[in-house]
Each structure stands twice: as structure tokens, then as C-alpha cells.
């Protein structure tokens, strides 16, 4: 299996590019998660537990 990877003959640019894109995606997601405000995270975590409040024009 590793012999196939070593003998790509010019295709290694695709391997390196895909690895960099993969790593970049997770770095961006990690930075996004660290920059989220704690108030927003608390609000979002409480959504499933809030009572369903209907609007005046909706029927139960």
C-alpha cells in the first residue's frame, strides 16, 4: 500500500493539498469555537429545554 503512495509520479501535490485543506478546516472550526461568546453557548444549550410558546395566532 505504501509503495503505491510513494510512486505517485507527480500526484503528491494532491495529497499535500488535501492534507492542508483538511487541517485548515479543523483549525478554522477550532478558532470559531474558541471565539464564541459564553452567553451565546448558554443560550443555545438551553433551547431544547425551554417551553414551547405558541404565538397568539397559532392553535394548540
Residue 11, Cα to own-chain centre: how many angstroms?
28
* pTM of the complete model: 0.55
SS3 12: helix
Query: What does DSSP assign to residue 47?
Result: G
Cα–Cα dist 6/12, whole Å: 8
Give the H or E element holding residue 60.
Answer: none
**Tens place of pLDDT for every residue, the chain, 60 residues?**
566 666 667 777 888 889 999 999 999 999 999 999 999 888 888 887 776 665 666 555
Query: What does DSSP assign to residue 46?
Result: H
User: What's phi and psi for 53, nearest 5 deg?
Assistant: -105, 120
Amino acid at each position: 500500500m505504501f509503495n503505491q503512495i510513494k510512486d505517485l509520479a507527480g500526484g503528491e501535490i494532491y495529497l499535500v493539498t488535501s492534507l492542508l485543506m483538511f487541517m485548515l478546516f479543523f483549525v478554522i472550526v477550532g478558532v470559531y469555537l474558541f471565539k464564541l461568546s459564553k452567553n451565546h453557548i448558554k443560550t443555545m444549550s438551553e433551547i431544547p429545554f425551554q417551553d414551547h410558546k405558541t404565538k397568539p395566532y397559532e392553535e394548540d
